[in-house]
Amino acid sequence: MAKRKTKFVCQTCGYESPKWMGKCPSCNNWNSLVEEIEKKNNVKRPTTGITSGEPVKITAIESQKEPRVTTSMREFNRVLGGGIVPGSLVLIGGDPGIGKSTLLLQISSQLADKELPVLYISGEESTRQTKLRADRLGVSSDLLYVLAETNLFDIANQIELLKPALVVVDSIQTIFRDEVASAPGSVSQVRECTSELMRIAKTNNIPIFIVGHVTKEGAIAGPRILEHMVDAVLYFEGERHHTYRILRSVKNRFGSTNEMGIFEMKEAGLREVMNPSEIFLEERSKGAAGSTVVASMEGTRPVLVEIQALISPTSFGNPRRMATGVDNNRIPLLMAVLEKRVGLMLQNQDAYVKVAGGVKLDEPAIDLAISISIASSFRNQPTRPDDIFIGEVGLTGEVRRVSRIEQRVQEAAKLGFKRVICPQKNLDGWVVPNTIQVIGVNTVQEALNVGLAR
């Protein structure tokens, strides 16, 4: 009898080694190598569903708009770039209990109500457990099929027989192939199962949504190649003790990666939030020093968010600089600009900056609002509650122009704000609404003179 060959595979990056090692030499993670049976298969031509042929000139290819399947959730459609693209493979990740299965079951129900057959494959729950969730969400449709199966061969047969308009796999870590001699959820199983699902999606033109578990660091479990194989990667974020959820796109071959959808978890399921700016500002304290409002762009939609700063004398040799919701390296940079160009003595002050509502902002247009918040807290002078601050701050103290100033100002005017302090360079080429005043500034010093003047 032939000796069985084994190998050790890193469960984080997919690195293979003939012997066990405590530390993976590729990703430097400890205790991530797991023993797997190495099984030699006959070499076959890979079937990816893409027909091979002679090269074609790009000018000779006919361009046509890809039809999309839209759901009843406009927030979900926006994150995907306008709807579900037929033949796409979408990966959704999120913390346990955040609502991934609830979201996909509601999406499946909405498509089934449009007379489109949907196959919901549950690898973690039985059909009765899925039915209990469906009853709580009010989901009942004859075209929504539930399959409790983990064998990919049987799943592929059911897809071929049913020919659904949408397939949901919950989750990819529970699916396995008989040809792969390793446990479900391993690197080899996840890679091979995803590759087969991609072939099914492309050859049958069926969109497939797969759910992925996340690690303690928040990344999707399994090798990074999993995110490279799929067409779109969505993260479902939020605090389990709060009702609001954020669906964020980090990869999308058919749309923007900056889109964000806001949902609220109710007893009867997820409800989309059409005006997230009101949510982020509903608990704002009026007249508090260190609080400003910025109009940030999330994809194509402006969102008004409150930025809070707390400046206090330090009791240590090195002052602390902490930030939540923004890049932690941006705070020392802006504080250095305020100290050098404005004259604020911040070198012996602790600084804490937070974006209220759990939103993460990474665009340069929030620099001016952060600077005003820091100066307001340091001087203990509150800003006007109806002011909006927009602008990028340079190292010489100048306020630089930002993109899409019209949409930002219109969103501020819609929510009742009276003044917008923005870069002077952004005032040309558009008409200011009558209900709001726009003040252009060239430097941070000018913004402070306008924003902190009472």
138 appears as a binding residue in the annotation: no
360 appears as a binding residue in the annotation: no
- Residue 214 carries which DSSP code? B
The predicted pLDDT at position 46 comes to 47
Nearest to 449 by CA among 351, 379, 355: 379
Q: Order of strands, edge to edge, in the sheet holding 437-441?
A: 387-389, 419-423, 437-441
3-class state of residue 47 by DSSP:
coil
Of all residues in the chain, what percent carry a pLDDT higher than 70?
92
- Show the tokens assigned to 142: 């004859």
**Cα separation values, 229 from 174, 190, 233, Å:** 18, 11, 10
Residues 14 and 223 sit within 8 Å (Cβ to Cβ)? yes
Residues 276 and 247 sit within 8 Å (Cβ to Cβ)? no
pTM of the model as a whole: 0.74
| C-alpha–C-alpha distance, residues 181 and 187, integer Å | 11
Q: Can you give the length of the chain in residues? A: 454
- Show the tokens assigned to 15: 């690195």
Question: What are 225-273's pLDDT values in tens digits?
Answer: 688 889 999 999 876 667 888 898 889 998 888 788 889 888 889 999 8
Cα angle 108, 87, 194 (rounded to 5 degrees) comes to 85
Question: What are 49-73's pLDDT values in tens digits?
Answer: 444 568 888 888 887 777 899 999 9
Low-confidence ranges of the chain (pLDDT < 70): 1-4, 38-53, 215-225, 239-241, 453-454
H helix or E strand, kind and range, residue 91: strand 89-94
Nearest to 136 by CA among 270, 272, 274: 270
| C-alpha–C-alpha distance, residues 375 and 354, integer Å | 15
Q: Is 100 exposed, middle or buried (0-12, 13-18, 19+ CB in 10 A)?
A: buried
Nearest to 162 by CA among 219, 206, 98, 124: 206
Report CA dihedral (6, 10, 16, 22) to the nearest 10 degrees.
-80
373 appears as a binding residue in the annotation: no
The predicted pLDDT at position 47 comes to 46
H helix or E strand, kind and range, residue 74: helix 74-80
The pair phi, psi for residue 244, each rounded to 5°, is -90, 140
98 appears as a binding residue in the annotation: yes
The predicted pLDDT at position 257 comes to 81
Residues 70 and 83 sit within 8 Å (Cβ to Cβ)? yes
The predicted pLDDT at position 29 comes to 84
CB hemisphere CA count around 281 (13 angstroms): 23
